[in-house]
Chain A
Amino acid sequence: MIQITINGNSYSAESGETVLSIARREGVDIPAFCYDEALAPYGACRMCLVAVTNGAKEGITTACTLKAVDGLAVVTDTPEIIRLRKVLLELYLAQAPKSETIKALAAKYGIKKTRFTRKVYSDDPLKGRCILCGLCVRVCRDIMGAGAISYIGRGQFTEINTPFYEENEVCMGCGACAQVCPTQAITYEDVEKTRVMTSWSKTRVLLKQCTGCGRYYAPEAFISYTNKKLNPAVDETLRYLCPDCRRKEMTRKAIFLSMEEPVTG
């Protein structure tokens, strides 16, 4: 274990852990949009700036990419960092004018409006909320192994969607993208037997029917993917049950089994 200092307080950490990961664990507030502990550091949102006051390279850097070494000391909110973050938030306000997440964080920094021209969206599948943090792209590719969505174009014209804006059959409809999205930009809806990934070129994914109650409860492709991944496999009697029915079935089995057990003592 090593010791690092954040804002004058000392914390124990594993060598090589990132400062942002330590801060999150210890409840130190450092804003970040493109970070998720399940994914590799990405360094795109530039919000998690910290000032290194004792370390190999002093100065401002991103906490998500800063590896902890013994004796490292950082400060998370120097006047300069606050000044930089404020301008970045103004840029975010202009880019994603419909995002409540951005507005809330900006308000926390005392920013009500941006000096920059707000982007005008028409028919945006991400509702004017996307800040291109890339969490959805990475979770889809790196965690789910699907890679259904990616970046289109570059620079200010970058967008995230399926290739050629067409329905993409590699999408399993798992919804991990919507789950990780920091600005709640990604939407999908279940219509009878189908899940429609509204944000991703209206990609349609078939839903699986629960063998218990008959409800369409989860995407077929996602169920078979997770069933393949799990080792040991899910008990056959539970495999295609919706969460409610599965709970009931497990409870029933537990009671049934306990009744079967011989009474000892």
Chain B
Amino acid sequence: MGCIGYCREEPLVNIHLPEKPLVVLHRVTEKDAEGIIQTVAAGEIPRERALCRIDNWDPLAGEILHFGNGFEDIPAYAEIPYFAPQKKVVLRNAGLINPEDIDEYIAVGGYRALYRAITEMSPDEVVGEVTASGLRGRGGAGFPTGLKWGFTQKEKSPRKYIICNADEGDPGAYMNRNEMESDPHMILEGMLIGAYAIGAREGIIYVRAEYPLAIQRLAKAIRQAQTYGLLGENILGTDFSFTLTIAEGAGAFVCGEETALIASIEGETGRPRPRPPFPAQKGLWGMPTNINNVETWSNIPVIINRGGDWFSKIGGERNSGTKVFSLVGDVDRVGLVEVPLSTPIRTVVYDIGNGGIEGKAIKAVQTGGPSGGCIPASLFDTPMDYEHLTAVGSIMGSGGVVVMNDETSMVDTARFFIGFTNEESCGKCVPCREGLKHMLMILDKTLAGKATESDMQTLEELSNVIKMTSLCGLGQTAPNPVLSTLRYFRNEYDLLLKKAQ
């Protein structure tokens, strides 16, 4: 099965009795199994394990699914504080359908958007719909997807490629993993629509090798789609043909950067190259290539089914749609949270996450993966979207949200992230390769109580130089954890400094 995202309550079990609501059981153990089967066989529900019931569900493809009525004593899905503020667009099917069965995906309206796109719409209309939706790249940079598609669409070339970037590697972030494991056909459908719009006949899913289940399910989904004539030649009897393959990463974080990713597929070392030329002009094997993140592709079928206008009304200004965040760290309710963009941090951390574990006070959240910044609790009214997170010194990134309670050392946190990016720097350009190494040395010196005020000046100066002069996004954002903690938690650094003699 897939996963509905409430990680703290796992393992979850779905029970659907005829004409009855779908009931989600939580914290099920092996010992419970026999009892559950006996109870269900008797037409009942093990009430003590019931988390919530789902009467109706909207998979956003046309019809509302009606599971059934009854079990009113079990709380409804919308009454669960963890789910109530959420809006499931990307995770519309996650945990509710069998991801290994194409028929279940089709039963909830899957591949309807593809059919519509290739039989009723011109490629320009598809690009226009995506542009109208206001969808922006979910890999982190937030570039408008419709605009990006347009670049590759306009290129005249005998061959074009589309790529799904599934090299998710931020520590503590697993949104894309769940999207692939829970609903692989949604990604296939998004890519098929994109390929039709852009004019590509070949697509590649670049997925990290550390996600064996995701790879297995994607591979299975591809085989099923081939059998059903949804991949291959003359799809659904049209002139449109498209093949899809999987390329596995080899464990380098920097291969999430699109030019390094292309180098990796080509069999080269995963090192970024300067842009321009952009992949849209000169990408994989020198051909025009469009790369989008897993979650970006996942939104496409919904945009075609419900229309760009419908999509653009979700979320905030210039930040339409939802975003899946992985809410982890010292937060009570850990899990995958999907909310409209521009939802305040407070809603995610307190309303959905229920604050700190054991009621401990929360000091900060770190958003956007290792290149993000630490945002203090005093700024928790900040809307979680591309512009607002950047304004407070962090980034949206791919959607990691690490919550830290007041026992956390912010200097140690910054050191952890610099340690990570230092290890993952490809080593091509000097500021990232050498600069991060020296940042790490200064942070270690600080944590050992041996740093001085002048080390702090060097640290800050070096951080800014790395940001300004690095070749790719990794180096340009890597100093963020240090710069943001220097900005908001300078006192923690000062307390560690060697007292002037």
Contacts and interface: CB of A to CB of B under 8 A. Distances in A.
Contact of A46 (B424, B427, B431): B431
Nearest to B461: A87
A250 B11 CA distance: 86
B225 interface: no
Given A117-B438, A155-B422, A45 B430 contact: yes
B40 interface: no
A88 interface: yes
Contact of B269 (A45, A132, A150): A150
A88 B464 CA distance: 12
A238 interface: no
Interface stretch (B138-146, B304-312, B313-321, B465-473): B465-473
A156 B422 contact: yes
Interface string A7-27: 000000000000000000000
B427 A91 contact: no
B423 A94 contact: no
A252 interface: no
Nearest to B440: A156
Contacts of A60: 468-469
A134 B438 contact: no
A49 interface: yes
Contacts of B458: 115
B441 interface: yes
A43 B429 contact: yes
Contacts of B428: 44, 132, 134
Interface string B448-480: 000000000010011001001111000000000
Interface residues of A, number: 32
B201 interface: no
A162 B66 CA distance: 65
Interface string B414-445: 00000000111111111101111110010000
Given A94-B438, A155-B422, A84 B468 contact: yes
Given A117-B441, A155-B422, A43 B274 contact: yes
Given A46-B471, A154-B425, A155-B424, A95 B430 contact: yes
A81 to B, nearest CB: 10
A88 B462 CA distance: 9
Nearest to A89: B430
Contacts of A157: 427
Contacts of B429: 43-46
B437 A156 contact: yes
- Taking each of B252, B458, B465, which has the highest tally of chain A beta carbons within 10 Å of its own beta carbon? B465
Interface in A109-148: 115-117, 131-132, 134
A18 to B, nearest CB: 11
B331 to A, nearest CB: 31
29 contacts: A43-B429, A43-B471, A44-B429, A44-B471, A45-B429, A46-B469, A84-B465, A84-B468, A84-B469, A88-B431, A88-B465, A88-B469, A91-B431, A92-B434, A94-B434, A94-B438, A95-B434, A115-B458, A132-B428, A151-B269, A151-B271, A154-B269, A155-B422, A155-B423, A155-B433, A155-B437, A156-B422, A156-B425, A158-B433
Interface of B: 252, 269, 271, 273-274, 276, 422-431, 433-438, 441, 458, 461-462, 465, 468-471
Interface of A: 41-46, 49, 60, 62, 65, 67, 84, 87-88, 91-92, 94-95, 115-117, 131-132, 134, 150-151, 153-158
Given A132-B433, A156-B425, 8 more contacts: A44-B429, A67-B276, A91-B430, A95-B430, A116-B441, A134-B428, A153-B427, A156-B437
